[in-house]
């Protein structure tokens, strides 16, 4: 259910849908920034994680060897830090997106919608100057978290570029790192 004053996002999410185990909360947030629908399996037992993966058609990403072995299509990761995890995941799944997209809320996985410009006041959490600039602002349908291009998304892009390389058609990658 959309909150009042929000219009539907036109962009569709990226396939496949994922489910990340409890040890991969940061990776789950990064995958959402990449446009993916990602369930974070916090507080779930292994049997529940396997059932949700099967029922919802989600691919499991896990650091748990046994859980990976028992879940069809699961991807087992070993690294502790998110850059290494993104790299491992892209090796196992070469089609992994490298492009930041405002489709899913990084906090709760809700759908993002572009905020309605006819509103007199910005959505909660959006600075007045950002709202006044006319640049797109997005809001989560579920939790209301606001998103816009800024320092935070620049950091996310830099981390993704370091891990996976810059997306095609962009010049954000640094030469020295190659």
Residues in contact with Zn ion by the rule CB under 5 A: 105, 107-108, 110, 140, 142-143, 145
- Minimum separation from the CB atom of position 5 to Zn ion (A): 16
The first and second tokens of residue 148, run together, are: 């816009």
**For Zn ion, the closer CB: 83 or 149:** 149
- Helices within 15-75 (DSSP H only): 25-33, 46-56, 65-70
Closest distance of CB 147 from Zn ion, Å? 9
Shortest spacing between CB 123 and Zn ion, in angstroms: 12
Q: How far is the CB of 25 from Zn ion (least distance, A)?
A: 15
- Residue 1 CA to residue 142 CA, distance in Å, equals 8
Q: Which is nearer to Zn ion, 90 or 145 (CB)?
A: 145
Contact criterion met (CB below 8 Å) for 59 and 16: yes
What span, in angstroms and rounded, lies between the C-alpha atoms of 123 and 15? Answer: 29
Closer CB to Zn ion, residue 107 or residue 126? 107
Q: Which is nearer to Zn ion, 40 or 131 (CB)?
A: 40
Shortest CA distance to 71 belongs to which of 44, 109, 105, 106?
A: 44
């Amino acid at each position: 259910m959309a909150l009042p004053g929000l219009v539907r996002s036109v962009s569709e999410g990226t396939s496949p849908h994922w489910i990340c185990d409890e040890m991969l909360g940061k990776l789950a947030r990064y995958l959402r920034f990449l446009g993916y629908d990602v369930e974070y399996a916090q507080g779930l037992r292994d049997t529940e994680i396997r059932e949700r993966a099967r029922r919802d058609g989600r691919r499991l990403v896990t650091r748990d060897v046994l859980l990976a072995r028992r879940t069809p299509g699961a991807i087992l990761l070993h690294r502790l830090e998110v850059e290494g995890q993104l790299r491992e995941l892209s090796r196992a799944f070469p089609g992994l997106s490298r492009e930041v997209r405002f489709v899913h809320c990084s906090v709760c996985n809700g759908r993002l919608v572009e905020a309605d410009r006819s509103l007199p006041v910005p959505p909660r959490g959006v600075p007045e100057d950002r709202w006044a600039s006319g640049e797109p602002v997005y809001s989560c349908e579920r939790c209301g978290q606001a998103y816009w291009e800024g320092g935070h998304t620049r950091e996310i892009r830099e981390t993704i570029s370091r891990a996976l390389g810059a997306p095609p058609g962009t010049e954000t990658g640094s030469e020295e790192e190659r």
